[in-house]
Amino acid sequence: MERVIISSSVAHQFPSDAPVVGRYAPSPSGDLHLGNLRTALWAWLEARSSEGKFVMRVEDLDRVKKGAAERQLADLQALGIDWDGEVLYQSTRIAAYQQVVKELTAQGLTYECFCTRKEIQSATSAPHAAPGAYPGTCRNLSEDERSRRRQDRPGAIRLRAQMREFTVVDDIAGEFTSDVDDFVLLRNDGTAAYNLASVLDDRYQGVTQIVRGDDLLSSTPRQAYLANLLGFPAPRYRHVPLALNGKGDRLAKRDGAVTLAEIRDRGVKDAEVLALIAASFPLKNIESDGTARFPSSAAEMLDVYQDSQPSNTPWTVQDEILKGVTIGG
């Protein structure tokens, strides 16, 4: 890999007329809930409405719950989401992650970090520290100091970033700028960190467009920076609003019957779940008599998606909705 010098703090991203390859990449830590399913449908609709490809990835480097990946993929298929090619499992890509880190290290673009979480939290809470950004504690350790620290604990591998901040363009948020600190590439157990694995896998799968929850927007400049540093454009981004519970918090399993299996147990059919999600956008079919009806299949959603303007506000999921789901608008 040749040394790449980034001359601009604004990300080089795929142009809007590039062939669309979208993706969905769940972590198999549990079953998908309504918010996850909505985001997956949104990503699928964006790709398929542009006559693009859609690929699937299982991010199984950590937090793997037995059988979760299989259930997640089955739920997506049950709702009508299809994908091109085989599912990519990150656990098959370990050698690729390590090779890229080796190349970056050869260019002097990495260093070992021995800080504990407690030490990092203490440093980043100090006055004048950038919130959440690694302060570079281990950046300039001498070789003697690194050798001494290795005796206490193995080191993680951090990127030696050449910029303090980076800007991406998001379809919803517009220009978004955030800190680019010396983020972790390999954890101290040798596992690839999310920012590294996701960037390399998006490149490997040819992804040009990413639709995902807006809680991930803050880390996007780091990922775009790494993509550009490695010599390729970052995808186009659309960070969509999350599903929230009645208290305004991010939807989670503790909020009741929120997974497809739990909703089915209440007697709610998949078509009704799809109608519920369609209503949240909202996506409506207009019947010949002028009445509106929410689509009850992914294919019906796709038929009306291009002519719709999905809401850019969060979706509040009330438990009562699940007791009275109706396909009619």
Annotated binding site: 23-27, 59, 113, 115, 134, 138, 194, 212, 253
Cα distance between residue 49 and residue 52, in whole Å? 7
| Phi, psi torsion values for 47, nearest 5 degrees | -75, -50
Place of tokens 């700028």: 177
- Alpha-carbon distance of 276 to 7, in angstroms, equals 47
C-alpha–C-alpha distance, residues 276 and 268, integer Å: 11
One of 53, 118, 247, 253 is an active-site residue; which one? 253
Show the tokens assigned to 63.
């937090």
Annotated binding site for ATP: 253
CA angle 211, 70, 26 (to 5 degrees): 20
Give binding residues for Zn(2+) as ranges. Answer: 113, 115, 134, 138
Q: Is 53 a catalytic residue?
A: no
* Angle made by CA atoms 303, 309, 315, in degrees to the nearest 5: 105
Q: Tokens for 44?
A: 């699928």
Give the residue among 17, 11, 21 at the shortest CA–CA distance from 206: 21
Backbone φ/ψ region at 267: left (φ over 0), alpha (ψ -120 to 50), beta: left
Active site residues: 253
